[in-house]
Copies of this chain bind each other. A is one copy, B any other.
Amino acid sequence: MKISCAKNELVSALQIVSKAVATKPQTPILSGIYLKAEAGILELQATNYEIGMVCRIPAEIEEPGQIAISGRYFQEVIRKLPGDSVSLSFNREEKIVHIQSNQANFTLLSMNASEFPTIKPMEGNLQFKIKDNVLRSLVKKTVFACSNDESRPVFTGCYLEVADTKVTMAATNTHRLAVKYETFDESIGNIKVIIPSRILQELLHNMTSEIPTDVTVTCTYNQISFAFENLYMTSRLIEGAFPDYHRVIPPEFATVVTLDASEFSSAVDRVSLISRAGDYNIIKLEFANNQVHITSNNPDIGNAEESVAASIEGPELTIAFNAQYIMDVMKNIDSETCQIKLNQPLSPAAVRESDDEEFIYIVTPVRTAH
C-alpha cells in the first residue's frame, strides 16, 4: 500500500473510527485501526465487537492495499504532523508503516491486517431511509433517559418501533420515560428493536451536516447499521423485551402548568446546587398563585428557593422530584415554553414541549418527609 491524503481529513476520520477501538481488547487486533486503499478511497475501520465504525476519505493511491495499525499511536502521530498532506506506505518485509509529512518521518509497527474482523455492509430484514434531522430529534429527545445500569440491559438502550408510517423511540430507567414520535409519508415496514445508547450517542455526535441528509438504517434480528455521507456505523442490538411504556403515560392530567423553559431550567439548576450534595437530590415544586416556587434543603449545607412565573390551570399542588430528572429533560427542550402536567403529589407527572406534540416525558415524583 502506498497513498497520500489530506491531513485534516485523516484526522477527522480517525477521530470518528477511534471511538470503536477497543480500550480493553479481547484480542490485540481490536486495538488496531484497519485501513484499505482502493479506487481513490482510503477506508478506515475499527470495531470492539459491540460497535463498528467505517469512514471513507478521498486519497491518491499509488499502490492499493490494506494494513492494520495500533489505533492509539496512529491517531496521536497523525494529529501532530506538521504538513497539510500525509503519505502512508507499507513495507511488507519489515511489517512497518511509513508515515511522512513535510520534514517528519515516522515508522509504526503494523498489525496483521488479515486478522482484522472487517466490517461488511449488512443485508437486513428491514431497511429504510430517514432524514438525519428527523433521526437526530428521535435520538436526542430520548437517549438521555436511558439507564447506565448494565445489570438490566433493556433499560440501557432506546426502543425503536417502526409501525408502517409511524416511528417511535422510547427510553426509560424505570423512574422516568422519554418518548418521541415521527410520522412518515409512506409505510416503511414493521420492527421493534432496542439500540444501545452508546451507538446512538456516537450517531448524534457524527450527524453534523448542515443540510438534511439521508441516513440509511438497516436492521437484522441482532444488529443495526446507520449509513450516511462517508460514514457507516454498526452496533449489536440489545436482547430482551422493552416494557409496555404506554401504560405508564397517564391518560389525563388535572393540572397543566405552562412555563418559560429557560427560566425554569436555570432556576432548577440553581436550587439543586443545595440538593445535589445530598443522597437523593430532591427539589420541591410548589405550584400556586401563578408561580412555581422551587425549594431544596440540606440540613448540613443550607437551603435554596426561587420562584418562576407560571400559568396554572387546574388544582394547585406541591410535588417533589429528583432534580436531575427535571434538568435532563429541560436540557433537551427546544421550545421557548414547556408544560408540566400533574395529577397528585405521588402520581407520575409529564413534561411536554409547546412546539412538539410528538414528545412526552414522564417522571415519577418522590415522597418527602414534609
Point out the residues of chain B lying under 8 angstroms from A108, CB to CB. Answer: 301-302
Q: Measured between alpha carbons, how far is A237 from B297 in the docked complex, in Å?
A: 43
Are A103's CB and B304's CB within 8 A?
no
Within 8 A of B (CB), among A293-316: 300-308
Cross-interface CB contact of A104 among B103, B267, B302, cutoff 8 Å: B267
- Chain A, residues 232-272, CB within 8 Å of chain B (1/0): the string is 00000000000000000000000000000000001101110
Q: Measured between alpha carbons, how far is A189 from B226 in the docked complex, in Å?
A: 73
Are B306's CB and A274's CB within 8 A?
no
Are B307's CB and A103's CB within 8 A?
yes
Residue A165 at the B interface, CB < 8 A? no
Nearest Cβ on chain B to A84's Cβ, whole angstroms: 15
Given contacts A103-B306, A103-B307, A105-B306, contact A266 B301 (CB under 8 A): no
Q: Measured between alpha carbons, how far is A287 from B9 in the docked complex, in Å?
A: 35
Nearest Cβ on chain B to A301's Cβ, whole angstroms: 5
Q: Measured between alpha carbons, how far is A82 from B273 in the docked complex, in Å?
A: 13
Point out the residues of chain B lying under 8 angstroms from A77, CB to CB. Answer: 270, 273-274, 304
- Chain A, residues 98-112, CB within 8 Å of chain B (1/0): the string is 000001111111000
Are B270's CB and A82's CB within 8 A?
yes
Are B270's CB and A302's CB within 8 A?
no
Are A82's CB and B266's CB within 8 A?
yes
Are B73's CB and A273's CB within 8 A?
yes
Given contacts A80-B273, A277-B73, contact A300 B109 (CB under 8 A): yes
Residue of B nearest to A296 (CB): B106
Nearest Cβ on chain B to A81's Cβ, whole angstroms: 7
Within 8 A of B (CB), among A39-86: 70, 73, 76-77, 80-82
- Excluding A80-B269, A103-B267, A106-B273, 8 further A-B contacts by CB distance (< 8 Å) are A73-B301, A73-B302, A80-B270, A103-B306, A104-B267, A106-B274, A107-B302, A109-B300
Residues of A with Cβ closer than 8 Å to B? 70, 73, 76-77, 80-82, 96-97, 103-109, 266-267, 269-271, 273-274, 277, 300-308
